[in-house]
Amino acid sequence: MSTGSGILVVDVGTSGVRAAVVQPDASIAVVHHREVLPSTPQPGFVEFDASAMAAAALEVAGAALGDVGSVAAVGIAAQRASTIVWDRATGEPVGPGISWQDLRTAGMCLVLQGQGVRVAPNASATKLAFLLDMADPERTRDLCFGTVDTWIAWTLSGGSTHVTDLGNAAVTGMVHGDGSGWSEHVLEVLRVPTGVLPGIVDSTGVVGEASALSGAPPIAGIAGDQQASLVGQGCVRPGLAKITFGTGGMLDLCVGPERPDFATRGPGGTFPIVAWRDGGVPTWGLEGIMLSAGTAVEWLRDDLGILDTAEQSHAVAQTCDDAGGVVFVPALLGLGTPDWDYGARGALLGLTRGSSRPQVVRAVLEGVAHRGADLVEAAETDSGATIPSLRVDGGMSVNPTFVQALADASGKPVEVSPVTEATTLGAAFLAGLAVGTWSGWDDVAATWSPAAAVEPRRRLDRERWLEARRRATGWDPDLSALEF
């Protein structure tokens, strides 16, 4: 195994920390993983131990380095909007890490709308205000705020690097809509001192040294998980799109250097994101979200008990030719794009006495596929572009029945990522661009080599699906009335 030319990636997800070394041919040489699970101390609260996360990052990064000897650079990919506040002098967190999934500040978000500040409860802004109110109500302490990418960069650098890339900063709810920097108005309303904020840097470029690691390799790439997945699947040219099917699902579409012309959400229900920034110039994207994807299969396994494993869903669904008229709407946590209805609820329609386990399992897989098609249609509406094919990663991307259903529902060819978690490749590409491992974005685009390419075979009934989705909306009127 060669040493010194690979890129070490530290990838922090919602349930664990992974370190991998990506070689110049885009192959993954070694992987180490450590589970770091969030906790739910009460309904709506989702927290994590930031110190345990830091320790896990150092452990797996050290193990990966031990396998290869040395690397050219370090890239960081991380869950977005999760919030940590720590003491600058000691490096110790002053409270729990608050997950992007946490809803404790939903009421604060509604109050802020009356003050001209629109932030969603999954963004960092109100989570930061909550932690500051708890640890520093007078705003006199010397504290640092960071999303997870910032915390990991601080950890790897031994406390010398306090930065975030523009893509991560833009989903905190505290950045100007044009990406030009922190919003003074939002900071004033939330009483956030500018001194706690990290510096905003490019997604690709050397920002410090990982002095806590052997050899102190440069930290040269930072991205949120979905942006990293977009880059990792070679979607670096306008019109190219990917969907990551994990617990939920996220479509990201590369738009280009011009920001989409709507402020928050477009008519199709997607919203603008900064895909990455290179040389001070942002590349923009659009993002659409489904709140339930793999969760729906987990529901079949853990709650209904009709599957022993999630992987079994493919084999069970293959025992029937179609769903027999059964339609499932995966709105177990509400509906994201395009409806944005938090009061929508899951629906299983079209059941007859002849409906059995295979039809229900196939209907669930096809329901998630229909939601994927919803995201494609929304992105095409809001961008004005036609997506030529879909690139997919995440746990559900290895399910052949699901991938075929996605092609059939969307009417698009589907290309499956060669690695299940393309975030690792994306963070490696961003770091490698900074140190010359890849010479430019054309090199990154050329690395794309799908594990499978699936063409549509038949058209799933979109009209029936859309009627089923309509019936699932508005089930909890109070939650359906919420607008963020």
Q: Is the pLDDT at 175 greater than 70, yes or no?
A: yes
What is the mean pLDDT of the segment spanning 264-281?
96
Could you tell me the two tokens for 426? 């994306």
Task: Determine, yes or no, domain membership for 21.
Answer: yes
Q: Of 195, 226, 257, which residue sits at a domain end?
A: 226
Give Cα separations from 230 to 7, 26, 417 (angstroms). 18, 15, 11
| 93 and 184 part of one domain | yes
pLDDT score of 43:
87
Q: Is the pLDDT at 263 greater than 90, yes or no?
A: no
- Dump pLDDT digits (tens) for 195-236: 999 999 999 999 999 999 999 999 999 999 999 999 999 999
Supply the DSSP symbol for 93: B
Residue 286 in contact with residue 383, Cβ under 8 Å? yes
Q: Is the pLDDT at 391 greater than 50, yes or no?
A: yes
- Dump pLDDT digits (tens) for 415-452: 999 999 999 999 999 999 999 999 999 999 999 999 99
Strand partners, 21: 8, 30
| 217 and 274 part of one domain | no
| 260 and 198 part of one domain | no
Q: Which helix (H) or strand (E) holds 290?
A: strand 281-290
What burial class does residue 322 get, using C-beta atoms within 10 Å of its C-beta: 0-12 exposed, 13-18 middle, 19+ buried? middle
Give the integer Cα–Cα distance in Å for 447 and 232.
Answer: 9
Q: Is the pLDDT at 111 greater than 50, yes or no?
A: yes
| 105 and 247 part of one domain | no
Give the integer Cα–Cα distance in Å for 372 and 366.
Answer: 10
22-26, 85-89, 261-265 — which is least confidently predicted? 261-265
DSSP string, 182-249: B-HHHHHHHT--GGGSPEEE-SEEEEEE-TTSTT-PEEEEEEEHHHHHHHHTT--STT-EEEEESSSE
Task: Determine, yes or no, domain membership for 148.
Answer: yes
C-alpha torsion 368→409→357→354, nearest 10: 140
Instruction: Assign residue 253 a region (left: φ > 0; alpha: ψ between -120 and 50; beta: otherwise).
Output: beta
pLDDT band at 168 (very low <50, low <70, confident <90, very high): very high
Strand partners, 77: 11, 223
Q: Is the pLDDT at 160 greater than 50, yes or no?
A: yes
Could you tell me the two tokens for 227? 């942006």
Give the integer Cα–Cα distance in Å for 323 and 327.
Answer: 7
pLDDT score of 200:
98
What domain range includes position 127?
7-226
Residues 6+ away with beta carbon under 8 Å from 484: 109, 118, 119, 120, 121
Residue 6 in contact with residue 29, Cβ under 8 Å? yes
pLDDT score of 198:
98
Task: Determine, yes or no, domain membership for 149.
Answer: yes
Supply the DSSP symbol for 387: P
Q: Of 210, 226, 242, which residue sits at a domain end?
A: 226
Task: Determine, yes or no, domain membership for 51.
Answer: yes
Q: Is the pLDDT at 185 greater than 50, yes or no?
A: yes
The separation between the first and the last C-alpha atoms of the chain, rounded to the nearest angstrom, is 50
- Dump pLDDT digits (tens) for 291-308: 999 999 999 999 999 999
| 217 and 238 part of one domain | no
Task: Determine, yes or no, domain membership for 443.
Answer: no
Task: Determine, yes or no, domain membership for 432.
Answer: no
Task: Determine, yes or no, domain membership for 444.
Answer: no
Residue indicated by tokens 């685009």: 445
| 330 and 468 part of one domain | yes
Q: Is the pLDDT at 2 greater than 80, yes or no?
A: no
Quote the mean pLDDT of the chain: 96
Give the integer Cα–Cα distance in Å for 76 and 150.
Answer: 9
Long-range Cβ contacts of 260-265 (<8 Å, 24+ apart): 260/284, 260/286, 260/382, 260/383, 262/382, 263/177, 264/118, 265/340
Q: Backbone phi, then psi, for 411, in 5-degree steps?
A: 70, 20
| 156 and 79 part of one domain | yes
Burial call 391-408: b when 16+ CB within 10 Å, e when fewer = bbbbbbbbbebbbbbbbb
| 101 and 145 part of one domain | yes
- In 319-412, where does DSSP find H-type helix? 357-383, 400-410
pLDDT score of 414:
98
Q: How many residues in total does the chain contain?
A: 484
| Chain centre distance of CA 121 | 16
pLDDT score of 82:
97
| 244 and 211 part of one domain | no
| 36 and 148 part of one domain | yes
Q: Name the pTM for this structure.
A: 0.96
What burial class does residue 390 get, using C-beta atoms within 10 Å of its C-beta: 0-12 exposed, 13-18 middle, 19+ buried? buried
Task: Determine, yes or no, domain membership for 278.
Answer: yes
Q: Of 206, 226, 246, which residue sits at a domain end?
A: 226
- Dump pLDDT digits (tens) for 352-378: 999 999 999 999 999 999 999 999 999
Q: Is the pLDDT at 1 greater than 60, yes or no?
A: no
- Dump pLDDT digits (tens) for 34-83: 999 999 999 889 999 999 999 999 999 999 999 999 999 999 999 999 99
Q: In this structure, is the dihedral angle defined by the CA atoms of residues 40, 42, 43 and 47, taken in order, positive or negative?
A: negative
Residue type, 403: V
Indicate the number of domains in the chain: 2
Q: Comparing 164 with 4, which gets the higher pLDDT? A: 164
| 124 and 266 part of one domain | no
Closest C-alpha to 272, from 288, 252, 286, 255 = 286
pLDDT band at 287 (very low <50, low <70, confident <90, very high): very high
Q: Which domain CATH number covers 365?
A: 3.30.420.40
| 308 and 259 part of one domain | yes
Give the integer Cα–Cα distance in Å for 130 and 148.
Answer: 17
What is the mean pLDDT of the segment spanning 152-180?
97
pLDDT score of 484:
84
- Dump pLDDT digits (tens) for 12-24: 999 999 999 999 9
